[in-house]
Amino acid sequence: MRIALAQLNFKIGAFKSNTQKIISAINSAKEQKTELIIFPELAISGYPPQDFLEFDSFISQCLKSLTKISEHCDSIAAIVGTPYFNPNTGGKKLYNSACFIYEKEIKQVIHKTLLPEYDIFDECRYFEPNFSFQLIDYKGFKIALTICEDIWNIYTPYYARSPMDVLIKQSPDVMINIAASPFSYAHDDQRELVLKRNVDRYKIPLIYVNHIGAQTEILYDGSSKVISKNGKIFNQLSSFKEDVFTLDFADLLIDHQKENIRQPEKNQLIHDALIMGIKDYFDKLNFTKAIMGLSGGIDSALTLVLLQRALGAENVKAFLLPSMYSSEHSVKDAVDLAEKISVPYDTIDIKSIYESFDSSLHPYFEGEDTGITEENLQSRIRAVLLMAMSNKFGYILINTSNKSELAVGYGTLYGDMCGGLSVLGDLYKTEVYELAKFINNKKEIIPWNTINKAPSAELKPNQKDSDSLPDYEILDKILINYIEKRKGFEELTTLGFDPVVVRKILNLVNHNEYKRYQSPPVLRVSDKAFGIGRRMPIVAKYSI
């Protein structure tokens, strides 16, 4: 039996284009005499459809698309992920399902059993879990079909049962798992371990087909895999690209001695993920042009390079917005970068605008000390100017804040925190530097002066980030342990961090949740990003 894995990029609710993409892949597979083609979880609707699932008309559109797809499954069978109505009177009205289609008919519908409700997942909100387990019989082969989380209980046992423990008793020949497994730079190692543990436990090969593409902040890397019976990766599909791979079932039974896999290192993964995230955000919202403020600092420099690579220099516009506190070398670094990567730029000096604001506010501020209000005023002036350009010329403003700043509230609401998309919001400051150096690995793209100088917001004379924050090497280690690893005050001090510093940082994280709720969506590259996967109350009084 010839089997095709169709790792494709779907748009949520774009039934016409999703359906056509599936039909096109089916017809291409038929030309190659393929007998079974496999698509990812909820391929018809796109993943995650979220509250669109509450509309019957949305589900009806899914099923109409399924009917159209079925008409092309004559000499070929297809496994297609879709939401499906629950015919029973009890429970949720929907299943997360995989339809097995052959001879222009839906022969079988397999429902997802294990419904995740952690991090970015909220499937219990919409779907009824499966309680019935059957194999698919096709061409003399018995297929154990599962959906994403159904095979993960072998890694972290959140659930009381595992579908494969039931299905294996029916003597399947192969496991097939269709998935919408999100990217993080460490996640594919976990995935590989899960897949291999399943093969080792059940002693049959496994075919895994994952989504690819970005759905706002959630990124899907694809990296679909075929695991042979002896637990070796027979093939891994592309990361961050659509890919289709066809194999003969007999290949799965060979004891392969080496694995056909090339895993990029962390910075390459993050680079490619962010490029895909930017591209898909613009493509799926029908945006074409981006605008951003270019300060000469590391965050805006890295963001500009990523935008240029994702969208093309002709679709990016940079504005230099120096104030009386902007250093000459920062302005020069910004100009050098824009010219080096051919991004058009203009300069608007905000000194006179600031002086006008200052004059208007003087009667009300007279007698008050100059401080953070005046610093933030510069940032907000820049945001107003950038948004004016955005409105007038149709650019989307891109945010340049990093995760360290977002964590401790080191940013200005309605100022540098503005934007339609946060590109670096899931990268700590130290990771921003690492990625910048990675980009400069073969030749200088980002000026080395930008990378090597001390970071500063340049909102007052001789300002440095270290004036109000610990060095980023220390700060980021505390933040990673608190945000990603869930270590509290006592655990962090046990690790050797200064208790005074730890208390200050943890309180800053907790007390600045209100700011993060007003931030743009963040492209997720870690296991715990700010946004959809991290839920904290705004008004909590949890102090350390």
Query: Can you tell me the distance from the alpha carbon of 298 to that of 438, in angstroms, rounded to the nearest whole number?
Result: 13
Query: Can you tell me the distance from the alpha carbon of 257 to that of 17, in angstroms, rounded to the nearest whole number?
Result: 41
Three-class SS string for 62-74? HHHHHHHHHCCCC
- The yes-or-no answer on residue 443 being catalytic is no
The number of angstroms, rounded, from the C-alpha of 337 to the middle of its chain's C-alpha atoms is 27
Helix (H, G, I), strand (E, B) or coil at 428: coil
Q: Which residue is listed with tokens 């600031």?
A: 354
Cβ-Cβ contacts under 8 Å for 353 (sequence gap 6 or more) = 381, 385
Query: Can you tell me the distance from the alpha carbon of 50 to that of 134, in angstroms, rounded to the nearest whole number?
Result: 28
Q: Which residue is listed with tokens 């008793």?
A: 169
Per the residue annotation, which of 21, 35, 41, 487 is the catalytic one?
41
Query: Can you tell me the distance from the alpha carbon of 360 to that of 153, in angstroms, rounded to the nearest whole number?
Result: 62
Per the residue annotation, which of 21, 62, 99, 112 is the catalytic one?
112
- 206, 123, 202, 134: which is closest to 159 by C-alpha? 123
CB distance 427 to 436 below 8 Å: no
Q: What is the DSSP letter of 480?
A: I
Query: Can you tell me the distance from the alpha carbon of 463 to that of 527, in angstroms, rounded to the nearest whole number?
Result: 33
Amino acid of residue 208: Y
- The yes-or-no answer on residue 41 being catalytic is yes
Categorise residue 103: left if φ over 0, alpha if ψ from -120 to 50, beta otherwise. Answer: left
Query: Can you tell me the distance from the alpha carbon of 54 to that of 461, in angstroms, rounded to the nearest whole number?
Result: 54
Q: Is 274 exposed, middle or buried (0-12, 13-18, 19+ CB in 10 A)?
A: buried
Structure tokens at 154: 């072998």
CB distance 205 to 227 below 8 Å: yes
- The yes-or-no answer on residue 112 being catalytic is yes
Per the residue annotation, which of 99, 148, 375, 418 is the catalytic one?
148
Cis? peptide before 48, omega within 30° of 0 = yes
Active site residue ranges: 41, 112, 148
